[in-house]
A and B are shown apart, each in its own frame.
Chain A
Amino acid sequence: MAPAVTYSEEQLVALLQQGSREAFNYLYANYSAVLYGIVQRVVTDENTAQDVLQDVFVKIWNNVARYDATKGRIYTWMLNIARNAAIDKLRSKGEIMKGKIQPDEYLVNNLHQSKVEQSTDAIGLKKIVAGLKPELYSIVNMAYFKGYTLDEISKELSIPLGTVKTRMRSAMQQLRTYFKN
């Protein structure tokens, strides 16, 4: 699966702006799995996830001209498009408002129910998560994969806003250490 050529982020932007088949193939080969992973983690339903992934590619394709390199990496820009599209879908279905979520169960459910579990990549995620305290990962998960704001997390978990921020910081610090090793 290793691509024959690896482009730098600047080259990738220039390539995408050409809108060629090669550009698409490169984009797809290198980023579709990450984008799909995020989308699936957010919306869980496979058919919905596939619809959202299509929209994500359309958005990337049509908006790449408006991507502003001074505002951050193209990779982050693409991840955010995927995340936002998936969360919008989730919200439009009203799923995010459904029911209360138990923090610990939340984490367990998320890892054990999703079909993602099968792939080796998701095992990678599991390993990372195993190294992270559940109360830390659940906050990252709620924010990043479920689109909760600080306030919403604080209300949902009945913990003070300051604690949410502190935990976010610890969680990200631990992730950083993990990825460094």
Chain B
Amino acid sequence: MDVRAYIDSGLLEAYVLGALPEADAAGVACMAGNSPEVATELAALESSLIELSEAAAVPPPAAMQEQIWAKLQHRGPLEISRPAAVISSEPIVAGSHLQPDDAATTAGIPAVEAPLPPQGRRVDISPATAPRRNTFLRAAVWLALLGSLAINVYLKQDMQGRGQKATAQIAALTEQQQALSQQQQTMSRQLAAFRQERDMMMQPAMKMVLMRGTKNGQDMAGMVFWNAKQKEAYVSLTGMPQPPTGKQYQLWAIIAGKPVSLGVMPPPMAGQPGANKVDASVASGQAFAVSLEPMGGSASPTADQVLIVGAVEG
């Protein structure tokens, strides 16, 4: 299969327009992961579609912004962090009109206690009123104490909160920066891989074989790049899931109707972009296939475990 013909086929347009069944869409995604030309073409198509969508833009009714925000508050991931924020903000309301100053607390207590001696001396004479007065005073003292406690707790939390917030922000920024630099590293690695692959694919004798999933509803695809002249082959498992533990993928060439093993592939290869060179020399073959086998591989592919197959064209 030649890349130019693939691009001209209209399959990529169908893909960006969302008109491909899942299995074919997986095939296109896999091609894009392996061919910079296809990836570039897809990106250009996506841009056109974005522009078409922008030309169709209609501002929603103004009230929707608040409506949607309210809805996000109810279901959004923010829900989890909200209650904490509400609790810590409550003392602000309760205590903010009080002087948030330690001196006020100590000053407050004598002020409340002061009227006590004249009334309290003759507790036994007016048993009916004194306890009531006492209760009131006690309540007032408790209230003052609680108020001061609340202020202290709030102030402390506020300080801690601010400190924590700042630390969290710094951590988030550092993390972001690390993520970005990691992303950049991944991208330059991918770019290098792409370049290498492009060079490999530019070889005139190079054939591309897209292996498609044999099972319905399973989103799998792989590619073999084969230069029959030099008997070299490369394989990519971009469109394959991680094999289950204890298993690995094995590559087969179908030669004169019989599967011939080309070797097993290390499990981490699955899902990774880029093609890996096949150690075995591949001189002939009508098709390629990948099966899931126990670690170390099998002499012949396990029936029912041949997951992707692709015929060599031309």
Tell me the A residues contacting B by CB distance below 8 Å.
Answer: 10, 14, 18-19, 21, 24-25, 28, 32-34, 36-38, 40-41, 50, 53-54, 57-58, 61-62, 69-73, 75-76, 79-80, 83-84, 116, 119, 121-122, 124-125, 127-128, 140, 143-144, 147-151, 153, 164-169, 171-172, 175-176, 179
Find out whether the CB atom of B56 lies under 8 angstroms from the CB atom of A125. Answer: yes
CA A148 to CA B72, docked complex, whole Å? 31
What's the minimum C-beta distance from A79 to chain B, rounded to whole angstroms?
A: 6
Kindly identify, within residues 1 to 55 of chain B, every residue whose CB is under 8 Å from any CB belonging to chain A: 8-11, 13-14, 16-21, 29, 43-55
Binds A, one of B75-83, B115-123, B155-163, B226-234: B75-83
The answer to whether B17 and A73 touch across the interface, beta carbons within 8 angstroms, is no
B126 an interface residue at 8 Å Cβ cutoff? no
Q: Is the CB of B72 within 8 A of A57?
A: yes
**B68 → chain A closest CB, angstroms:** 5
Q: Check A149 against B71 for contact (C-beta < 8 Å).
A: no
Instruction: Please determine whether B59 and A36 come into contact, CB atoms closer than 8 angstroms.
Output: yes
With contact pairs A165-B9, A176-B44 given, residues A54 and B71 touching in the complex (Cβ less than 8 Å): yes
* Number of chain B interface residues as a range: 35 or more
User: What is the CB-to-nearest-CB distance from B165 to chain A, in angstroms, rounded to a whole number?
Assistant: 13
Pair A32/B60 contact, Cβ less than 8 Å = yes
| Given A28-B68, A119-B58, A38-B53 contact (CB < 8 Å) | yes
- Select A37's contact among B9, B58, B77, B179, beta carbons within 8 Å: B58
- State the Cβ distance, B35 to closest chain A Cβ, in Å: 15
A140 to B55, alpha carbons, bound, how many Å?
Answer: 14
Docked-complex contact A58 and B72, CB < 8 angstroms: yes
Contact A122 B71 (CB under 8 A): no
Task: State which residues 64-95 of B face A: CB under 8 Å.
Answer: 64-65, 67-69, 71-72, 75-78
Quick check: is B167 within 8 A (CB to CB) of the other chain? Answer: no
Known: A40-B58, A172-B16. 5 other contacts (CB 8 A): A70-B273, A72-B46, A73-B46, A165-B13, A179-B47
> A53-B68, A76-B46 are known contacts. Are A143 and B58 too (CB-CB below 8 A)?
no
A168 touches B59 (CB 8 A): no
Among candidates B18, B43, B54, residue contacting A83 with C-beta atoms closer than 8 Å: B18
| Nearest residue, chain A, Cβ from B19 | A143
CB distance from B75 to the nearest CB of A (A): 6
**Closest chain B CB from A111 CB (angstroms):** 11
Q: Which of B10, B16, B48 contacts A179 (CB 8 A)?
A: B48
For residue B180, CB closer than 8 A to chain A, the reply is: yes
**Distance in Å from the Cβ of A55 to the closest Cβ of chain B?**
9
Residues of B within 8 A of A179 (CB): 47-48, 51
Determine the chain A residues whose CB is within 8 A of the CB of B57 once the complex forms. 33-34, 36-37, 119, 121
Given contacts A24-B69, A53-B64, A176-B48, A125 and B13 within 8 Å (CB-CB)? no
Q: Does B176 contact A (CB under 8 A)?
A: yes
